[in-house]
Structure 1
Amino acid sequence: MLDGRQVAVLAALTTGDTERAGELLADTVAGDPWEQLVTTCLVVLCRREAGQPIDAPLTELVETYLDREAEAGFTVFDIRLGLAVLDAIGSAEHPASARLAERLVHRAAEARDGYAAREILGHPLTVSLATDRQEEECQELVRACALGAGAVPDQLHRDLSAALRTSGAVIIHSFAGAEGSDTVRPSAGGVPS
């Protein structure tokens, strides 16, 4: 399910057109496992909005998400998808809610991903389900990644800029096939000579 179809389904749901949303979902061709999870999540939201039973697709959604292996490089997406699943559950009292919230915190911590932890901390239902220790763990991750810490100090900014200029010049030099020395030495200004 590509982004455009997801937006069309959500737009239909936002305007109360559950029939149109249902048609879009019914016409969706099965894709990658993550796309199927997104589709099932939207099916649950659509059925709930239409006043239809959601137990079967909700159970499938939760179990499929919980059984899904985390993919390297997709932690934030995975966490956001899990938060959407929790939104589809819609209640802290649902038997799967606490288990799902725990899994989300575990995945963010295991990946050491501050952005994922920040997403969790920004989701009231997840925070309400998390233990104090889990919430602290997410806060520690956000701090360790310096998210929201402010601006980069001037000297560090200058050093990083010089390193980037040097790296850029080395890359350009290597692509140009420059003759002469194989060693590129930075000049006083940080640009290779």
Structure 2
Amino acid sequence: MRCATPAVRVRCLAFEPDEGLAVFTTRLTLTALDAADLDTLAARDLLAHLARRTGESGDGYALRDLLARTGVRHHLNPVQGAALERALAACALGSATLPDVLRNRLEGALGQAQEVLNGSPFDPARPEEICLGATSELRWAPDLSATAEPRT
């Protein structure tokens, strides 16, 4: 019979992920749950904590990993499972589409980048005109050969 040690459970419950670590902490806790008997109170507490934390994170990859575990998914209550499914759907992972609001923001940013690039003196057809580290005959090329005087 598999069982999670109390120390593992306590550490997983106490561990709150920093920004960008939702997938790691979800997978770490799922690994602890794999070693546990999911019918124990300790494992159910750990799963409830994981489901809450993952749902709050809104991280699509963490949500997908949590919901993909059949044994774990089976032990979620139906309301919680449905909420996690909705959160995952809102992330649009694998849908190959962006919500209109996000698509408009992305298109705006790309338009601004295009304007900057179009106003740039760099000619992509002539990359040899850029002379980094040496003085160039071209007015727009920076002179990077000068070194700063050491501070005393």
Name the SS for the 2:96 alignment partner.
coil
Name the aligned partner's letter for residue 9 of structure 2. Answer: V
Residue equivalent to 1:118: 64
Say which structure is richer in helix: 1
Name the SS for the 1:96 alignment partner.
helix
* More relative contact order, 1 or 2 (CA 8 Å, 6+ apart): 2
Residue equivalent to 2:25: 78
Residue equivalent to 1:139: 85
Q: What per-residue deviation string (whole Å, max 9, x for no partner) do you get for residues 35-64 of structure 1?
A: xxxxxxxxxxxxx9xxxxx87x72211111
Structure of higher CA gyration radius: 2
Name the aligned partner's letter for residue 55 of structure 2. Answer: A
CA distance in 1, matches of 2:23, 2:60: 9
Q: Is the 8 A contact 1:70 1:107 kept in 2?
A: no
Q: CA deviation at 1:126?
A: 1.6
Sequence identity, in percent? 29
Change (3 A) 1:75 1:93: same
Q: Which 5+ residue runs of structure 1 have no aligned equivalent? A: 1-47, 49-53, 180-193
CA distance in 2, matches of 1:168, 1:78: 38
Q: Is the 8 A contact 2:92 2:98 kept in 1?
A: no
Q: CA deviation at 1:70?
A: 2.4
Name the aligned partner's letter for residue 150 of structure 1. Answer: A
Give the length in aligned residue pairs: 121
Residue equivalent to 1:59: 6
Normalising by structure 2, we get a TM-score of: 0.63
CA distance in 2, matches of 1:58, 1:145: 34
Superposed structure 1 runs of 4+ greater than 6 Å apart? none
Q: CA deviation at 1:170?
A: 3.4
